[in-house]
Amino acid sequence: MKTILILRHAKSSWSNPGLADIDRPLNKRGKHDAPRMGDLLREQELIPDVILSSPALRARKTAQAVSEACSCPGEIEIIADFYPGDPETFINTLVSVPDQIDSVMIVAHNPGLEELLYVLAGESARLPTSALAQVSLPLDSWHDLDDEVQGKLLNLWRVKELIS
């Protein structure tokens, strides 16, 4: 079994309207929420082996804060095609993950992440900023992943639903 953790980036700032979308930073709430999701991963013993992130600043900063909070042992790999990202791109990246890796976290954007959740688990769910979905995949090898594999949504956490 393989596990994919799907994390939408934390809340970003719109305070500088001249900034390119890819360069928007986290706002105050986002800087607070991202480490909370890392704490949740640590508490749930769901620390990913590797984190794959969109190159957007808000996604990279979310991945970094989550990684630090959960003490993720692996590197954060920036995947250019994850901005804006779609299910096909995510899956095409995942098939090249080494098989000794059991758990991968993707940090990216909507609507691609909601679509990925639907493709992998047949679940339609809203993923607001900082939402985290845990999907179990019936695979021994990432190479066998395609859009026909039916995983199971095990958990879905939204930061506003967490007890402070």
CATH architecture of 2-12+21-161: 3-Layer(aba) Sandwich (3.40)
Task: Enumerate the domain spans of the chain.
Answer: 2-12+21-161
- Tell me the pLDDT of the chain (164 aa) as tens digits: 999 999 999 999 999 989 999 999 999 999 999 999 999 999 999 999 999 999 999 999 999 999 999 999 988 999 999 999 999 999 999 999 999 999 999 999 999 999 999 999 999 999 999 999 999 999 999 999 999 999 999 999 999 898 65
- Is-contact 134 106, C-beta < 8 A? no
Q: So what's the pLDDT on residue 142?
A: 98
CB burial of 103-121 (b: ≥16 within 10 Å; e: otherwise) equals bbbbbbbbebbbbbbebbb
Query: Of the candidates 62, 72, 12, 3, which has an alpha carbon nearest to the alpha carbon of residue 37?
Result: 62
| Adjacent-strand bridge partners of 106 | 6, 52
Q: Residues, the chain, total?
A: 164
Torsion over CA: 106, 112, 113, 115 (sign):
negative
* Helix/strand/coil for 58: helix
What does the pLDDT read at residue 43? 96
DSSP 12: B
pTM of the model: 0.96
